[in-house]
Amino acid sequence: MTAVVVGASSGLGRALAVELARNGHDLLLVASDARDLAVMAADLHLRYAVRTESLAIDLAASANPGARILEALDGLPSPQALLLPVGMSRSDDDGSLAAAGIGQLLAINLHAPIAIAHALLPALLDARGVIVGFGSIAGARGRSRNIVYAAAKRGLQTYFESLRHGHLPSALRVQFHRLGFLRSNLTFGMKLPLPAAEPEAVARTVVASLGQGSFTRYQPRWWGLVALLVQCLPWFVFRRMRD
């Protein structure tokens, strides 16, 4: 199987790429830094004897990232899996961001995943393949931090719901993992109120689920209870929560 991993250079994306290669899948690795990707592609090829290609692209500045990915897939068999663990958040996403910052967050967290999904959809449907998106606990309820990021993640969740509505699992498996905290660049140095999962553990679960049908689920699963609690809190209590 050929899998495309967008956001493959660190955190969950890197762990997914390793797990997919370990399972014998050819890979197209996508992120912004060409040197990181080249080293990773060479390492995975050597360790697991899979074919690896890479594409360095700034998803905040590309109007049509799907076309670039289709070009980069040229040397590989047609893709059967698209995984989109790309993401970016900013500490100043508190309602004070200027238009350029808002555009950057929307481009990376919402526009790029949707545009790439649309471009690869015909090939994924041909292959009766799987598309995998990643949301965030931040999208469970709107707060005064990570404002644009959370809006983008909730938008992405709705997009995946629409995909799932439009395609039977026998034609396209549509899988959406809503993630709690992960130990990665995104949370580096942050004081977190709940434990962070290791990207490698989450990646093993995600890859093991690729053959299952379509679903939306929390990852790790206990975050579903946290989300339920947060959503059930009366507004006057929720409004006081700052961490």
Give residues in contact with ligand NAP (CB under 6 A).
Answer: 7-13, 31-33, 36, 57-60, 85-88, 108, 134, 136-137, 179, 181-182, 184-187, 199
**Residue 33 Cβ, how far from ligand NAP at the closest point, in Å?**
4
Residue with smallest beta-carbon separation from ligand NAP: 11
Question: Which CB sits closer to ligand NAP, 2 or 219?
Answer: 219
Tell the smallest beta-carbon distance from residue 112 to ligand NAP (Å): 7
Residue 16 or 50 with smaller CB distance to ligand NAP: 16
The distance of closest approach from Cβ of residue 4 to ligand NAP in the complex, given in angstroms and rounded to an integer, is 13
Identity of the residue, 31 or 151, whose beta carbon is nearer to ligand NAP in the bound complex: 31
Q: What is the DSSP string of the chain?
A: -EEEEETTTSHHHHHHHHHHHHTT-EEEEEES-HHHHHHHHHHHHHHH---EEEEE--TTS-S-HHHHHHHHGGGSPPEEEEEE------TTTTT---HHHHHHHHIIIIIHHHHHHHHHHHHHHHTT-EEEEEEEGGGSS--SSSHHHHHHHHHHHHHHHHHHHHS-TTT-EEEEEEE--BSSGGGTT---SSPPBPHHHHHHHHHHTTTS--EEEEESTTHHHHHHHHHHS-HHHHTT---
User: Which C-beta is closer to ligand NAP: that of 147 or that of 182?
Assistant: 182
Smallest distance from ligand NAP to CB 51, Å: 20
